[in-house]
Amino acid sequence: MLTNADIVALTALRHDLHRYPELSGDEAKTAARVVTLLAETQPDQIVPRLGGHGIAAVWNAPAPGPTVLFRAELDALPIFETATHDHVSLTPGVAHLCGHEGHTVTLLALARLIHRAPPARGRVVLMFQPAEETGAGARAVMADPAFAPFKPDHAYALHNMPGLPFGHARLTSSVFSCASRGLKITLTGRTAHASQPDTGVSPALAMAELIPALMALAPVGPMHGDFRLVTICHARLGDPAFGVAPGHAEIMVTLRTGTDGPMAQLEAQAFDLIHRIAARDGLGASIETHDVFTATVNTPVAASHMANALAALNIPFNDDNLPMRPSEDFGAFGAEGAELCMILLGAGNDVPALHNPDYDFPDELIPLGARLFHHVMTQLLR
């Protein structure tokens, strides 16, 4: 079990990590700190630089058995923090406003529990993953040859969730979160003097038509198997000048589907619409794809182990509000057939939402999450 001294130390650690956030792909200092802290719990192996700055801590039991992975994220967000607590971010414009530093410390708490009560069989991998916010991290870890020996048979993760009662959980045995991807659309024409717009090729009308037309591909509706959503995130036409008729435009849009299957169709419809309108107006059109997330789909086997652990710890749970519209890259760890389960763990009803500039992970979730993961581990590897 975690002692009072553990809780004090882990809380102080969470606050310190919160002060020094790093963006996706730039988590070098955070990763180095995690490696140092992991060494104190004496895993059999610490494997750094996985998929970038990822770290795997590995405990091998004497008897054969499955490989069970627990995942936390290292990265922060490009948002200015407005909170006033004493561990506010010291990096302007970067902050842990999704609670990833809390997830990291939860796994470090779990490492202490494993050190004191290691598995009887099989193998435990604690995966500290980079670049979750961009959707690139989990895929990069899975693709890294150095990770191949540690690919899991079972993989588990949690995410803190404001708006749920503190310590309550949300669990499903099917789709946990949506697939999504971002499209950056650039329309290119020819600038002209504002007094002679007819001598140029303006993307203004195409842009004005594309925005509602893209949204109409997937209007907002209830979550179900055919859920689709298109969100316009950014738009820019020309440069801020009164004397120039614009010759370029940029639109950033997010496509979202309830599962992976419909994404290809929605993306194809968006591409066709963009190229058709651009060609009609004599414009060049280029499309870049960013932040690709596959759907995270829990398996019934892994969900049943999690349900058993939740019940054993008297944590209330149901599947309300699942699947989630937000995307999560954890699903990549199930790409090769691993039993997969991710849950939401309530951060409280009356707290700021994730990604809000004043959000702060509740320290009291650290021991709860660690105990929950340790119970899952014990079920599988006793």
> What fold, for 179-293?
Alpha-Beta Plaits (3.30.70)
Q: What is the 3-state secondary structure (H, E, C) of the chain?
A: CCCHHHHHHHHHHHHHHHHCCCCCCCCHHHHHHHHHHHHCCCCCEEEEEECCCEEEEEEECCEEEEEEEEEEECCCECCCCCCCCCCCCCCCCCECCCCHHHHHHHHHHHHHHHHHCCCCEEEEEEEEECCCCCCCHHHHHHHCHHHHHHCCCEEEEEEEEECCCCCCEECCCCEEEEEEEEEEEEEECECEECCCHHHCECCHHHHHHHHHHHHHCCCCCCCCCCCEEEEEEEEEECCCCCCEECCEEEEEEEEEECCCCCHHHHHHHHHHHHHHHHHHCCCEEEEEEEEEECCEECCHHHHHHHHHHHHHCCCCEECCCCCEEEECHHHHHHCCCCEEEEEEEEEECCCCCCCCCCCCCCCCHHHHHHHHHHHHHHHHHC
Q: Where in the chain is the domain with CATH 3.30.70.360?
A: 179-293
Q: Does the pTM exceed 0.85?
A: yes
Q: Where in the chain is the domain with CATH 3.40.630.10?
A: 4-174+298-381
Residue by residue, pLDDT tens for the chain (382 residues) are 899 999 999 999 999 999 999 999 999 999 999 999 999 999 999 999 999 999 999 999 999 999 999 999 999 999 999 999 999 999 999 999 999 999 999 999 999 999 999 999 999 999 999 999 999 999 999 999 999 999 999 999 999 999 999 999 999 999 999 999 999 999 999 999 999 999 999 999 999 999 999 999 997 767 766 899 999 999 999 999 999 999 999 999 999 999 999 999 999 999 999 999 999 999 999 999 999 999 999 999 999 999 999 999 999 999 999 999 999 999 999 988 999 999 999 999 999 999 999 999 999 999 999 999 999 999 999 9
Domain 4-174+298-381 has CATH 3.40.630.10: yes
